[in-house]
Amino acid sequence: MSSEIPEVPEHDSESDVEQHNDAPIQEPRLWVGNGWTARVIKNEEDEGWAVAMIKDGEPEPALVGPWTMGRDKKNPKPLDVNAFNTLVKTASEVLRRHEQQLHAQLHKSLYVGTDDGQVKVMFDIVPDEDHPYAELSAYDADGEQIAKVRTSAAFKFNATSAANWIEGGYRKV
């Protein structure tokens, strides 16, 4: 029987190191996992505590909310798996609603009745940091594109402006 101690392999590959770095952290005031970080922080507005949920790679929290006091009425209640999972679900929903709201602001459509039938008119804003613009497009009842023009992101899109664009022969506005 050999009394040699087996060698522990070193981490040569970056993937081994990344897997180790991606290990979940489960501390009373800090949980990291599932692409999120939950951090219990002192609430600056009163004597209580708050929890901030930060999605990996994002600079700002997606959600900040009140956190429960512990039994000693001084320190925060420690995070646990159920609380963390609930916070992840809630913060994900907040982000999803924000994305839906942004999409609705950037992409609008309506139908205009014409002699040739219904025309779907779409107004899509391209939020370029330096030069935002919009695209105005029209589609027939079969979904075939009739026209598409580039216009100002500040264009007032409504039923009247869409009808005027159609009546004007789909010219640039």
Phi-psi region of 117 (alpha: psi -120 to 50; beta: other; left: phi over 0): left
- Confidence (pLDDT) at 21: 56
At residue 47, the pLDDT reads 77
Which stretches of the chain drop beneath a pLDDT of 70? 1-23
Which tokens sit at 79? 């995070």
pTM of the predicted model as reported, rounded to 2 decimal places: 0.67
Q: Give the residue among 21, 15, 72, 22 at the shortest CA–CA distance from 49.
A: 72
What pLDDT shows up at residue 24? 81
Q: From its phi and psi, is residue 163 left (phi > 0), alpha (psi between -120 and 50) or beta?
A: alpha
Q: What is the pLDDT of residue 137?
A: 98
Name the phi and psi angles at 110, rounded to 5: -155, 170
User: What DSSP string describes 84-138?
Assistant: HHHHHHHHHHHHHHHHHHHHHHHEEEEEEEETTEEEEEEEEEE--SSS-EEEEEE
Provide the sign of the torsion angle of the four alpha carbons 7, 12, 15, 19, taken in this order.
positive
CA distance 28 to 17: 25
pLDDT digits (tens, 9 = 90+) for 4-38: 433 433 434 333 333 445 668 999 999 999 999 99
pLDDT computed for residue 11 by the predictor: 39
| CA 127 centroid distance within chain | 16
The SS3 call for residue 168 is: coil
Distance CA 86, CA 54 (A): 14
* CA-derived radius of gyration, the chain: 27
Domain boundaries, the chain: 23-105, 115-167
